[in-house]
């Protein structure tokens, strides 16, 4: 029988997930580290991983209530973790379509149910939505709400980019809009190393 026990605790050699997107929804879209590489690791593969990420990102200030609920309802916790993966896929589809300029007509229906749930469960909407974080799915609501805010905010949406070195999304907050990498310390450094290696190899020919 499945349980809600965590399998997402980082094994040896897996780094703490970098938080580099500059936006809540995009940071959640980027929760698979090294997605195309040999060190691929899903940091929210289970419910404890989702809670850990939400607490670290500032979505939750107290996770004890949800941890207790998850321990009493393991099947619901597992189902919520799967819902979280669906939300993440929807975020990547919607914002990937924006970056690619293909439009969101096909991907928006995948995100809409999560946005509707966030609106439905908001306990207050003035000046910003708030939620009662007692339902197992409640960590997903601020993420969905922030995604909708980004989609309907043209100024911020114009700064949306995909890293030149990996599939991660981010908001380019640089003054001249020239940021290319999710992080200069991550993909930017890898790019420089690859250029250096290629240059050295070319000089030996």
Q: How far apart are CA 6 and CA 50, in angstroms?
A: 10
Binned at pLDDT 50, 70 and 90, residue 185 comes out as confident
Tell me the mean pLDDT in the region 8-18: 80
The SS3 assignment for 68 reads: helix
Q: What are the structural domains of the chain?
A: 24-203 (1.10.3300.10)
Residue 204 has pLDDT above 70, yes or no: no
Q: How far apart are CA 161 and CA 179, in angstroms?
A: 9
At which residue do the structure tokens 């997605």 appear?
35
Residue 192 has pLDDT above 60, yes or no: no
Dmax (CA) of the chain: 67
């Amino acid at each position: 029988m499945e349980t809600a026990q965590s399998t997402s605790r980082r094994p040896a050699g897996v780094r703490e997930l970098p938080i580099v997107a500059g936006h809540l929804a995009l940071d959640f879209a980027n929760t698979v580290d090294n997605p195309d590489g040999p060190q691929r690791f899903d940091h929210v593969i289970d419910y404890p991983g989702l809670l850990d990420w939400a607490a670290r990102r500032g979505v939750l200030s107290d996770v004890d209530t949800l941890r207790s609920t998850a321990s009493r309802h393991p099947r619901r916790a597992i189902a919520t973790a799967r819902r979280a993966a669906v939300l993440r896929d929807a975020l990547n589809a919607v914002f990937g379509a924006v970056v690619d300029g293909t439009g969101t007509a096909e991907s928006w229906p995948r995100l809409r149910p999560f946005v509707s749930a966030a609106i439905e469960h908001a306990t207050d909407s003035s000046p910003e939505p708030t939620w009662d974080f007692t339902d197992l799915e409640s960590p997903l609501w601020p993420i969905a709400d922030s995604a909708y805010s980004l989609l309907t905010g043209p100024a911020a949406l114009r700064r949306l980019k995909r890293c030149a070195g990996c599939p991660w999304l981010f908001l380019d907050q640089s003054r001249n809009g020239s940021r290319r990498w999710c992080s200069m310390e991550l993909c930017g450094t890898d790019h420089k190393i690859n250029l250096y290696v290629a240059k050295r190899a070319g000089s030996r020919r």
